[in-house]
Copies of this chain bind each other. A is one copy, B any other.
Amino acid sequence: MSFEVFILGSNSALPAHGRHPSSQLLNHNDCLYLIDCGEGTQMRLTQYGLKRNKIDVIFISHLHGDHIFGLPGLITSYILSSRVQPLRIVGPVGLLRFLDVCINLEKTKVPFELDIIEIEPDERPVVLENDQLTVSAFPLDHKITTSGFVFQEKDKERHLRPNVIEEYNIPYQKINGIKNGDDFVLDSGEVILNDVLTTPPDPAFSYAYCSDTAYDERIAEYVKGCSCIYHEATFLSDLEDQAAKRKHSTARQAALIAKKAQIDKLLIGHFSTRYINLEPLLEEAQSVFSNTYLALEGKSFSIS
């Protein structure tokens, strides 16, 4: 079982200092989800030996170039390499038109099912649900319509206590129900309570992506209790006014959201090109929320 996020790019706006625009690869039990896709994302995936073809869903926060300019190239590569499995892309209204113009979807033969879902984050929709995860969107406060995403693991199965199958002669077809909380009734009519048969499940973990956004306390509600969040931290606090004007956050503000939301681990990124050395951003955030890390490219962070 794995739940981790790999940072492909975490610079803001311009590529600089060997840093690249926004993209992350979320690995949940070998299901791969891409979050944002700045220019060159497909090259980063190759560089780090990550299999681009295993990505099934791409989540796009907003339509600024540093979050989407790698998308046409990645999809074109899928088309040219004869991908067969479906691809879903979830993003704001306008995404379809952007891809249509870039790839000329009308005239291009796409050899796989391409499902582009445009969302209104104000409705806080569930944008993906499968056996293991629920992904929901929520609004961020940026210059254009922007979504954050919460990746919430579903409740896991309880663990059977040792030897209970033999002890109570439990048939195979009852086991799944018991792992999900059922009691078990013996032939005699006696009820064996679930607590006797099982121990509690592993905890369900969750990850939230919050970029780009101004400081907005509502975010703390949307991501409350998450195991790990990524929150943009474009500037240091001495540029708090500039951050507000440009609808970005400071490292301190990212940490305040983490603290209010009572999360476990904070990753900060979307660093302004003005910062060659990122340590001051880390120090500023850690002074408010100690369990903070720089979302450096090529690094992987465990969420579970």
Interface readout for A9-36 with B: 1 if CB under 8 Å, 0 if not? Answer: 0000111100011000000000000000
Q: Contacting A98 at CB < 8 Å: which of B14, B16, B102? A: B102
A212 sits at the interface (CB 8 A)? no
Q: Please provide the chain A residues from 66 to 86 with a CB less than 8 Å away from any CB of chain B in the complex.
A: 66, 69-70, 72-73, 76-77, 80-81
The prevalent SS among residues of A at the interface is: helix
A interface size (C-beta, 8 A): 26
A145 in the interface (beta carbon within 8 A)? no
Q: Which of A37-45, A113-121, A190-198, A227-235 contacts B (4 or more CB under 8 A)?
A: A37-45
| CB <8 Å contact, A80 and B13 | yes
Q: Judge whether B69 and A65 touch: CB under 8 Å.
A: no
Tell me which residues across on chain B come within 8 A of A15, comparing CB atoms. Answer: 42-43, 46, 73, 77
Q: In the bound complex, what is the Cα–Cα distance between A14 and B79 (angstroms)?
A: 10
* Bound form: Cα–Cα A21–B77 in Å: 11
Query: Chain B residues with Cβ under 8 A from A43's Cβ?
Result: 15, 20, 39-40
CB distance from A41 to the nearest CB of B (A): 9
Give residues in A with beta carbon < 8 Å to B.
13-16, 20-21, 39-40, 42-43, 46, 65-66, 69-70, 72-73, 76-77, 80-81, 97-98, 101-103
